[in-house]
Amino acid sequence: MRICRFNTQDNPLPRIGYLNDSDQVIDLNSFEITEMKSLFDSEKRALILTQLQNPDTPKLALQEVTLLAPVDNQEVWAAGVTYLRSKTARMEESDFSATAYDKVYDAQRPEIFFKSMPGKVVAT
């Protein structure tokens, strides 16, 4: 699911949208989704997913919107060491890294670590 933050020339306030496969943005504010976290907390999730498929739901062309940074006020956290190449490189750095990363790869749960403050996040 491609979720985005955007605004338009007519409405400069940031809004949450769904970017469909036709590169059209569906404004989720009409479903009372006003920030990224409210999408995931929403009890209306099933209704929203149904409405996203409805051909009558209003859509904006991608050219009509300005895409914004993907997060607003959330810190960004990540989970796990995911690439074997990364594990190998870290293990070659030092004896401590070799032991620490070996434990992370074999752990029952992924390691959680802080990545960035919201103001430093950039979309790619």
Answer yes or no: do 50 and 100 share one domain.
no
Answer yes or no: do 46 and 96 share one domain.
no
Instruction: Looking at 2-117, list the stretches that DSSP marks H as alpha helix, in order from N- to C-terminal side.
Output: 36-41, 45-53, 84-93, 95-106
Separation of alpha carbons 28 and 18, rounded Å: 7
**Residue-number span of the structural domain to which 13 is assigned:** 3-67
The tally of domains found in the chain comes to: 2
pLDDT in tens, the chain (124 residues): 788 999 999 999 999 999 999 999 999 888 888 877 777 766 777 778 888 888 888 899 999 999 988 776 778 888 766 666 777 777 777 776 666 666 767 777 777 888 888 777 766 6
Answer yes or no: do 8 and 61 share one domain.
yes
Query: What is the reported pLDDT for 100?
Result: 66
Answer yes or no: do 29 and 63 share one domain.
yes
Query: What is the reported pLDDT for 102?
Result: 67
Residue 114's φ and ψ, nearest 5 degrees, are -75, 140
- Answer for the pair 69, 122: CB distance below 8 angstroms, yes or no: yes
